């Protein structure tokens, strides 16, 4: 048998197949647009030459490319194209008020193609051309929905630019134009990406050299908008004499924003920072010349940008979360619960993710505690953000938090209700209160049988809590004794931390402490080392003696529960055996 050789594929034939598939995809989008504007019935009325002309003069997909004379890595350009394509296909808009929706990718291709075809129908004279023109007229005259589509495109370009922009390296922005070749009648939206290097400067702050970066907001179609602050001398006399100040930021502040707003994306953090400057609200930090600029997310205060004025520059030094010291809410938290900087960091109260977790949101005791401290705005953010907008990797231990704060676990915390609720129920209680009291006087209290040999759980709980607090006190004594010993025995202590002073309300000390400054204990005298170890060993022995009954009581409680469970099981098993014997 002769072998049949495979024929080589004809490139011309493959081109025809690809063009037919592309034409079918285009017609699918046209049908989708006509269905959304309630004009699907006109499709059989369109002549074949009109459909062919509509396909040849169609608006192409948005073309994403680098602006002329600009430079961008090839991998980043591919990433931008994939991201924008996904956003266009995911975002939907109505083509008529209250009508069906289509995705932006369909609108910017088939939607505008149908609009241009409707505008050119006055030159057509085929049968039923007038009926087609009349059916498409509402869509042709509609401008609000088209404006909404371009507004979404502007937002997509802005979000993408924020995802790419790094204020310490390079700033990106996009321009979009509808352009094409008039001879070949080929048109498309061209999105061109531009970039500029970050503006970097060296300034002196407190006689120390620091690197700062100018804050620029990437604007769609308009390039970079450099942030400025106006009329500051009128608001805070004596802080500066310059009417206009350029805004700069330290890399340290950008790191603190990402660290403390840990469940938000980078573009969300940048967007909220620019929005906070658009409607800026600021105040002085105590009696200092530092400024606290409110940082808001979804118009809810989440913290403050700590800034100072140096010449003609407003420099953002760091970001303070709303619970931290040197903020009004942080001072209230310290006053109500005696929480200092180390405790806030230990409990993760300086992280937004802590307040976005269901453990905090569903705990009424902690919710009331934070409301009393003036931090209720953090509890409102969870209702605004959807699950897809935040990322939570660590969940707090509410039992540890309640124990540390000393919240009474037996006390019932009732959140305040809005006025007008449950008024009828309260009136009924007042009316029937005397009757209920007289009935309770006549009734004898019911006594519950307590199992023999079982300890009172309330007394055991009190003993365990007392021992647990004693253990914590001993641990605190050990920690602070070591710090005092380190300060006394150290010959070289960093000047940024004053021995014996815990002033966490000074912003300068906060900025210094944020840089992870630690005590230097590299030069200890032999006598100091000896007495230090004696103190440590003594405290450790005391700690062991105190905590030993704690573990014994826990073991006793566990043994009592196991014994009770064993008795219940024996009774249950004995009952089953007796039932089998009866059968």
Measured between alpha carbons, how far is residue 98 from residues 5, 34, 94 in Å? 60, 15, 7
More confident site: 181 or 264: 264
Flag whether pLDDT at 482 surpasses 90: no
pLDDT value at residue 469: 65
Note whether 33 and 155 are same-domain residues: yes
Within 415-521, where are the H helices? Answer: 423-431, 433-442, 457-489, 507-514
DSSP state of 373: T
**Residue 462 pLDDT grade (very low, low, confident, very high; cuts 50, 70, 90):** low
- Minimum mean pLDDT range among 177-186, 187-196, 281-290, 552-561: 552-561
Note whether 73 and 171 are same-domain residues: yes
Q: What is the phi/psi pair of residue 197, to 5°?
A: -70, 155
More confident site: 218 or 544: 218
Of the candidates 321, 355, 375, which is a domain's last residue? 321
pLDDT value at residue 5: 52
Flag whether pLDDT at 262 surpasses 70: yes
Do 379 and 355 touch, CB atoms closer than 8 A?
Answer: yes
pLDDT value at residue 69: 85
Flag whether pLDDT at 241 surpasses 90: no
pLDDT value at residue 526: 65
Q: How large is the C-alpha radius of gyration of the chain?
A: 36
Is residue 440 a part of any domain in this protein?
no
Is residue 433 a part of any domain in this protein?
no
* Per-residue tokens: 315: 């420099």
Is residue 526 a part of any domain in this protein?
yes
More confident site: 424 or 266: 266
Note whether 145 and 270 are same-domain residues: no
DSSP states of 179-217: EEETTTTEEEEEEEEEEEE--EEEEEETTEEEEEEE-EE
Note whether 203 and 314 are same-domain residues: yes
Q: Are strands 244-250 and 208-214 parallel, antiparallel or unpaired?
A: antiparallel
Do 522 and 359 touch, CB atoms closer than 8 A?
Answer: no
In the beta sheet, which residues pair with residue 94? 101
What is the total count of domains within the chain?
Answer: 4
pLDDT value at residue 136: 92
More confident site: 381 or 300: 300
Do 281 and 503 touch, CB atoms closer than 8 A?
Answer: no
Is residue 420 a part of any domain in this protein?
no
Prediction pTM value: 0.66
CB atoms within 10 A of CB 553: 15
**Residue 472 pLDDT grade (very low, low, confident, very high; cuts 50, 70, 90):** low
pLDDT value at residue 183: 62
| Per-residue pLDDT tens digits for 421-432 | 444 444 444 333
Do 168 and 109 touch, CB atoms closer than 8 A?
Answer: no
Structural domain span for residue 513: 457-573
Q: What is the mean pLDDT of residues 492-513?
A: 41
Note whether 168 and 210 are same-domain residues: no
Measured between alpha carbons, how far is residue 418 from residues 360, 365, 373, 415 in Å? 21, 18, 20, 10
Range with top average pLDDT, 286-290, 486-490, 554-558: 286-290
pLDDT value at residue 73: 83
Nearest-10 Cα torsion for 57, 189, 87, 32: -20
Note whether 30 and 176 are same-domain residues: yes
- Minimum mean pLDDT range among 216-225, 308-317, 320-329, 529-538: 529-538
| Per-residue pLDDT tens digits for 52-98 | 888 888 888 899 999 988 888 888 899 999 999 999 999 999 999 88
Q: What is the mean pLDDT of residues 510-518?
A: 43
| Per-residue pLDDT tens digits for 23-43 | 889 899 999 999 999 999 999
Residue whose entry in the numeric block shows the structure tokens 């700590």: 306
pLDDT value at residue 256: 93
Note whether 477 and 549 are same-domain residues: yes
State the greatest distance between any 2 C-alpha atoms of the chain, in Å, as a whole number.
Answer: 112
Measured between alpha carbons, how far is residue 447 from residues 144, 190, 441, 444, 450 in Å? 73, 83, 16, 9, 9
240: Cβ contacts below 8 Å, ≥ 6 apart:
232, 233, 309
Flag whether pLDDT at 516 surpasses 60: no
The rounded percent of the chain whose pLDDT value lies above 70 is: 68
Is residue 436 a part of any domain in this protein?
no
pLDDT value at residue 255: 93
Measured between alpha carbons, how far is residue 464 from residues 403, 469, 572 in Å? 12, 9, 32
Is residue 428 a part of any domain in this protein?
no
Q: Taking the CA of residue 326 as centre, how many other CA atoms within 13 Å lie in the half-sphere pointing to its CB? A: 31
Within 92-143, where are the H helices? Answer: 104-106, 112-119, 129-141
Note whether 302 and 399 are same-domain residues: no
The rounded percent of the chain whose pLDDT value lies above 90 is: 28
Is residue 533 a part of any domain in this protein?
yes
Flag whether pLDDT at 333 surpasses 50: yes
Flag whether pLDDT at 335 surpasses 90: no
Note whether 60 and 176 are same-domain residues: yes
Of the candidates 181, 208, 231, which is a domain's last residue? 181
More confident site: 13 or 490: 13
Q: How does the average pLDDT of the chain come out, rounded?
A: 75
| Per-residue pLDDT tens digits for 144-166 | 888 999 999 999 999 999 999 99
Q: What is the mean pLDDT of residues 117-121?
A: 88
Flag whether pLDDT at 409 surpasses 80: no
More confident site: 410 or 545: 545
154: Cβ contacts below 8 Å, ≥ 6 apart:
220, 221
**Residue 480 pLDDT grade (very low, low, confident, very high; cuts 50, 70, 90):** low
Of the candidates 412, 436, 466, which is a domain's last residue? 412
Note whether 97 and 214 are same-domain residues: no
Note whether 88 and 117 are same-domain residues: yes
In the beta sheet, which residues pair with residue 306? 292, 318
Is residue 164 a part of any domain in this protein?
yes
- Minimum mean pLDDT range among 2-11, 217-226, 308-317: 2-11
Count of all residues that appear for the chain in the document: 583
d(CA 64, CA 193): 8
| Per-residue pLDDT tens digits for 367-385 | 887 777 777 777 777 667 6
Note whether 310 and 330 are same-domain residues: no
């Amino acid at each position: 048998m002769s072998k049949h050789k495979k024929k080589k594929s004809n490139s011309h034939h493959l081109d025809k197949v690809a063009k037919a598939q592309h034409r079918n995809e285009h017609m699918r989008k046209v049908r989708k647009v006509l269905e959304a504007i309630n004009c699907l019935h006109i499709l059989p009325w369109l002549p074949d030459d009109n459909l062919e002309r509509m396909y040849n003069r169609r608006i192409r997909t948005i073309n994403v490319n680098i602006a002329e004379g600009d430079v961008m890595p090839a991998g980043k350009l591919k990433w931008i194209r994939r991201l924008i394509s996904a956003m266009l296909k995911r975002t939907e808009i109505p083509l008529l008020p209250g009508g069906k929706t289509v995705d932006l990718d369909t609108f910017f291709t088939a939607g505008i193609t149908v609009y241009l075809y409707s505008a050119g129908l006055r030159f057509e004279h085929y049968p039923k051309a007038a009926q087609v023109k009349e059916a498409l007229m509402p869509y042709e005259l509609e401008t609000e929905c088209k404006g909404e589509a371009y507004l979404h495109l502007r937002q997509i370009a802005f979000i993408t630019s924020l995802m790419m922009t790094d204020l310490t390296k390079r700033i990106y922005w996009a321009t979009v134009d509808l352009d094409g070749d008039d001879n070949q009648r080929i048109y498309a939206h061209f999105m061109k990406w531009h970039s500029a290097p970050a503006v970097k400067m060296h300034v002196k702050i407190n006689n120390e050299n620091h690197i700062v970066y100018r804050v620029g907001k990437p604007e769609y179609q308009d390039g970079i908008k450099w942030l400025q602050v106006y009329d500051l001398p009128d608001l805070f006399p004596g802080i500066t004499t310059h009417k206009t100040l350029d805004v700069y930021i330290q890399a340290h502040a950008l790191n603190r924003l990402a660290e403390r707003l840990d469940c938000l994306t980078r573009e969300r953090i940048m967007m909220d920072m620019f929005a906070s400057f658009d409607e800026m609200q600021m105040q002085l930090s105590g009696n200092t010349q530092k400024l606290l600029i409110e940082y808001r997310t979804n118009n809810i205060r989440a913290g403050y940008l700590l800034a100072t004025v140096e010449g003609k520059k407003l420099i953002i030094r760091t970001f303070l979360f709303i619970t931290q010291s040197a903020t009004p809410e942080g001072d209230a938290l310290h006053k109500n619960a005696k929480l200092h900087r180390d405790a806030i960091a230990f409990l993760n109260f300086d992280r937004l993710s802590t307040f976005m977790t269901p453990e905090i949101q569903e705990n009424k005791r902690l919710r009331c505690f934070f409301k009393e401290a003036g931090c209720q705005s953090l509890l409102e953010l969870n209702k605004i953000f959807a699950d897809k907008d935040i990322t939570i990797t660590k969940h707090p231990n509410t039992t540890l938090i309640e124990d540390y704060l000393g919240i009474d676990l037996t006390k019932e915390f009732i959140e305040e209700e809005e006025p007008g609720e449950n008024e009828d129920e309260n009136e009924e209680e007042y009316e029937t209160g005397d009757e209920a009291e007289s009935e309770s006087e006549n009734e004898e209290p019911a006594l519950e049988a307590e199992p023999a040999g079982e300890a009172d759980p309330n007394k055991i709980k009190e003993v365990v809590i007392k021992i647990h607090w004693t253990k914590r006190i001993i641990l605190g004594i050990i920690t602070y004794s070591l710090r005092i010993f380190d300060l006394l025995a150290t010959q070289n202590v960093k000047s940024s931390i004053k021995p014996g002073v815990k002033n966490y309300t000074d912003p300068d000390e906060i900025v210094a402490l944020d840089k992870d400054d630690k005590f230097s204990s590299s030069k200890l005298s032999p006598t100091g080392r000896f007495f230090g170890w004696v103190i440590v060993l003594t405290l450790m022995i005391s700690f062991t003696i105190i905590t030993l009954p704690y573990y014994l009581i826990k073991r006793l409680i566990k043994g009592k529960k196991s014994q009770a469970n064993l008795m219940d099981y024996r009774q249950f098993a004995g009952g089953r055996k007796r039932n089998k014997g009866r059968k």
